[in-house]
Amino acid sequence: MKIRCLTNSLKALSLNKSSNYTLPDAQIFLTIGKEYIAYALSQFYDEIWYCVCDESYTYYPVWYPKTLFEISDNRLSEYWVFSFKEDLKKERFFFGFPEWADQLDFYDKLTDGEKKEVEIFKGYKELMDLEFPDSSISETAQIGDDQWLICPKCTDAWQNSDNRDALVRCSKCSTIFNNPRYKDVWPGL
């Protein structure tokens, strides 16, 4: 799922008045107009929240309320599973990768810098970052043959016959390109 930032002002937020929750006086490190990958989606305090890697990203994503965004690509990540989580004696829905969905304290351990959780998130982030088209990427990898792609930047070739992900990463220079085999068949896109 991809979302576009509409505002980065706390004053613009209109959280559900019945939630009895107020946002702390904190900075929002989002760029208006920029698209972000939603790495998880959940409900807190009767509101919907997205977990994104904002401009302050180091090794863990941050939760932001949906009122800051509009959905730009409503496809759910193929790496997401659905679960219910219980905290504060309330059950809430949760979409995220399996380790996060199944482990109640995954995010706490991730923000604490626990090595296992940091590595798991990093792995899923790399996969999810390539899943959806990105309008900021203009170059396309070249097709070598049925099994190989060629990097237009460093001219290295790597084996990749996948048409599932919208983007590909050169195995040598790590530059991200549009996947020439990708077919965006989602209705309305």
Look up residue 154 and give its amino acid.
C
Alpha carbon 57 to its chain centroid, in Å, reads 12
Task: Based on the fold, state whether residues 125 and 144 are members of the same structural domain.
Answer: no
* Number of compact structural domains in the chain: 2
pLDDT tens for each residue of 124-144: 999 999 999 999 999 999 999
Task: Based on the fold, state whether residues 66 and 144 are members of the same structural domain.
Answer: no
Calculate the average pLDDT of the chain.
90
Task: Based on the fold, state whether residues 10 and 84 are members of the same structural domain.
Answer: yes
Task: Based on the fold, state whether residues 120 and 163 are members of the same structural domain.
Answer: no
CA atoms within 13 A on the CB side of 90: 11
pTM, two decimals, is: 0.87
pLDDT tens for each residue of 159-183: 999 999 999 999 999 999 999 999 8
Task: Based on the fold, state whether residues 175 and 82 are members of the same structural domain.
Answer: no
126, 77 in Cβ contact below 8 A? Answer: no
Please report, to the nearest 10 degrees, the dihedral formed by the alpha carbons of residues 168, 114, 26, 23 taken in order: 100
pLDDT tens for each residue of 72-104: 999 999 999 999 987 767 788 999 999 999 998
**Residue 133's CB: how many other CB atoms inside 10 A?**
18
Please report, to the nearest 10 degrees, the dihedral formed by the alpha carbons of residues 32, 34, 73, 162 taken in order: -170
Range(s) of the domain holding residue 184: 137-189
Give the residue from 129, 151, 167 where a domain finishes. 129
Rounded-to-integer distance, Cα 132 and Cα 120, Å: 20
